[in-house]
Amino acid sequence: MVAVFGDRLARPAWSDVVLGAALAVAVVAGTMAASPGQTDRSRPLDVAGLVLLVAAAAVTAVPRRTTPLAALTGAVLLVNAYLLAGYPYGPVLLCLVITVFEVARQRPLTVSATAGGLAAVISSAALLLRLIGDGHTPVLLALAWTGWIVLPWSLGALIHVTDAARRRARRDLIARTALEERMRLAGEVHDIAGHGFALVTMQAGVALLVFDEQRDQARLSLEAIQETSTAALADLRRMLDTFHPRSPRPADPAGVAGLAGLVQQVRAGGLPVEVVADGPADLPEPLGATVYRVVQEALTNVLRHAGPTQAEVAIHRGERHVRVRVTDRGTSMIATAGAPVGRGLAGMRRRVEDLDGRLAAGPRDGGGFQVVAWLPAPEVPR
């Protein structure tokens, strides 16, 4: 019968053995205490009855955690055999309650409902036969006995559903966290690779344009391509190293201190950039990294889309916020009202909003494009 329910036998723990012994003592003692008042309608408790009581308690307590269906099967057989033998009523009936509860708590609802239903039918039929032999009106009492099965099953099923919902919520949280991390990784790759490729493309175009007439300028452009590619690969490697479980998370070099090198790279690519900054130059992380990425992505968009123009980077640190503003006077599709928002702008917005800031991006009056980010300023220690 155990094989029918699909349970696998496992080695019981010592705590289960001790609990089984304690339950057997309690069942035997309780039955012996209750038996004197039932002498007119039950047979005396003998050795066979004691064996049934002890066996029912043992099969209830020992395998209930590892093989609850086997425990329920054993409890149904032993308890009903005890009742049909005519022995006194007593706490042995709790064995059914415990095993039904464990099955409902640990097994799927369809399995536990089937097992509980079979246990209720068998137990009610056995009690019906017992009551007929005792000369009582049996039908209502036999039906009432099903409550001893339905109630613990309902409680166990409620716990099972609650635990399943909690586990499902935890799995969803893990999956959502993993998705957010993949999106963050994709954004990092987009920022680093997109900026590097934009600079390389512009520098390669300059080299091709002046290759025959201005060899020195072509050499400078090729050297700039080499430096830009090396820096982009180093940033990618450093970012990917953060996902290696055996490597400590390195410090992000993309902070306010890296803006000078970033602007120098862009200028080497042929885009004039003016930088205006007021207030303290250093910003704590992750605020500094966010400022760097906003400026990097905004300048990358200028390189890609604005055409011949110049850009201005303005960083203002006030008492309540840090404002980052990148503007240009170029003419391109990205500066057209209603143009679709690309991954770069979406990534910038996500970074800024992660720090409870806000970002505005759109065409300027008179032509060009601007990106403005407002970030909460860090508190100044007093």
- Quick: pLDDT tens for 70-80: 889 999 999 88
Question: Rounded CA gap, 148 and 126, in Å?
Answer: 14
What ranges in the chain are assigned the alpha helix state H? 2-5, 14-34, 47-61, 68-84, 94-106, 109-134, 138-145, 147-210, 215-241, 259-268, 287-305, 343-354
Residue 320 per-residue DSSP state: S
Burial 313-351 (b: 16+ CB within 10 A, else e): bebebeeeebbbbbbbbbbbebbeeeeeeeebbebbbeb
pTM of the model: 0.52
Mean pLDDT (the chain) is 76
Looking at residue 198, its amino acid is: A
pLDDT at residue number 230: 66
What is the spatial distance between Cα 274 and Cα 302, in angstroms, rounded to a whole number? Answer: 13
How does residue 337 score in pLDDT terms, banded at 50, 70 and 90?
Answer: very low
- Output phi, psi for 154, to 5 deg: -60, -45
**Domain ranges (residues) in the chain:** 2-145, 177-376
pLDDT in tens, 74-108: 999 998 898 888 888 888 888 888 999 999 999 99
Of residues 128 and 213, more confidently modeled: 128
| pLDDT score for 6 | 44
Q: Please, are residues 24 and 54 in contact by the beta-carbon 8 Å criterion?
A: yes
Would you state the CATH architecture of domain 177-376? 2-Layer Sandwich (3.30)
Helix (H, G, I), strand (E, B) or coil at 67: coil
Contact criterion met (CB below 8 Å) for 203 and 221:
yes
Q: Are 302 and 328 in contact (CB under 8 A)?
A: yes
**Those residues with Cβ within 8 angstroms of residue 316's Cβ, 6 or more apart along the chain or in another chain:** 277, 278, 279, 322, 323, 325
- Residue % of the chain over a pLDDT of 70: 66
Of 290, 299, 302, 298, the closest CA to residue 361 belongs to 298
Choice among 45-54, 95-104, 237-246, 309-318 with the minimum mean pLDDT: 237-246
